[in-house]
Amino acid sequence: MDISSIGVVGAGQMGNGIAHVCALAGYDVMMTDISADALDKAVALIDRNIARQVGRGKVSEAEMAAAMARIRTTTKLAELGQTDLIIEAATERETVKQAIFEDLLPHLKPTTILTSNTSSISITRLASRTDRPEKFMGFHFMNPVPVMQLVELIRGIATDEETFAACKSVVDRLGKTAATAEDFPAFIVNRILMPMINEAVYTLYEGVGNVTSIDMAMKLGTNHPMGPLELADFIGLDTCLAIMNVLHDGLADTKYRPCPLLTKYVEAGWLGRKTQRGFYDYRGEVPVPTR
C-alpha cells in the first residue's frame, strides 16, 4: 500500500515529534488535538527543532521550508479520516485511545491503516474495538522522536502482512530502524526498562540511596546516559505508573508491583519535567533532587 499522508492524533511530546519526522520524510501530515493552543505550540516547537537541525547542518533551509509546509493542524478529529495512515499518540490511557478510534471510524477511508503509539497497551484489544483489526497495529516511537533511532512495530492477532509491510516501509523512509515485538504487555523496550525504573524508585523508597546517588551510580557504574530517576522524570511519572500497572495486571506477577512512592508522586501531581517537579525540582536554574 502506498502511503503519502499521515494523520497524527495528539500534539504533545510524542505527537509533535512524530509529525516532525514524518514531514521531513516527505509525508503530508495532519495533526489534531482537542486544544488549538496545543497545536500552535506544537507547530512552533517543530519549527524550532528543525531550525536546530538546520543549524547543525543536518537539514537544509529548503528541506525545513518544505517540511513545515506539509504540516496542517485541526481540532476536528474527523478531518484525519482521509489520510492513508493514522498514528494515535494520545495519553497512555486505554479508555481515551478506544474513544479516539471509535470517533474516527465513521470518517475513515476503507484502506486507512490505524496504529497506536502506545508503549504498553494490548494492540489486539485496541484493534478489536475497530472495524479493521487486520489494518491495525502498534507503531511505538521512542522519545525524543527526532533523535531516537528505534521504532517498535507490534502486530495484533489479526494484523495482516500488507499492513505490517506498509508500516515497515514508513519506518524505513523515516530513516529509522524497526524492531518487531509480539503483543505482550509493554512489548520489548518498556518490558525491560520500566521494571528497572520501578526498582530504582524502590531503592529510593527503602532508603538504599538518595536521588543523586542512585542516578550517579547508574550513569557512572553502567554507562547509562541518564540516571533512572532522571529518565522517569523525562518520560513522565504518570506514564511510568500506567505502564507498570499494565505489566502488573497483564502478567499477574508481583515483581511488577508499582512502588508506592511512584504512586504517591503521581497522586501529588509531581509528574516530572512536564509539571516542573518529580524526582527533581525543575523550577530553578538547575534541577534539584526532591528527596
Catalytic pick from 5, 16, 119, 198?
119
Active site includes 20? no
Give the integer Cα–Cα distance in Å for 210 and 213.
Answer: 5
Note if 140 is an active site residue.
Answer: yes
**Pairing verdict, β 177-181 and 85-88:** unpaired
Q: Is 210 a catalytic residue?
A: no
Which cell is 266 given?
503521581
Look-up: residue for cell 494523520? Answer: 7
Choosing from 117, 190, 198, 230, the catalytic residue is 190
Annotated active-site residue in 16, 117, 122, 140: 140
How many whole angstroms separate alpha carbon 161 and alpha carbon 63? Answer: 33
Q: Is 190 a catalytic residue?
A: yes
Residues 290 and 211: their CA atoms lie apart, in Å, by 8
Rounded to whole angstroms, the Cα distance separating 291 from 288 reads: 9
Residue from 212, 218, 215 nearest 291 by CA: 212
Name the catalytic one among 120, 152, 198, 230. 152
Give the residue numbers annotated as catalytic, written as ranges: 119, 140, 152, 190
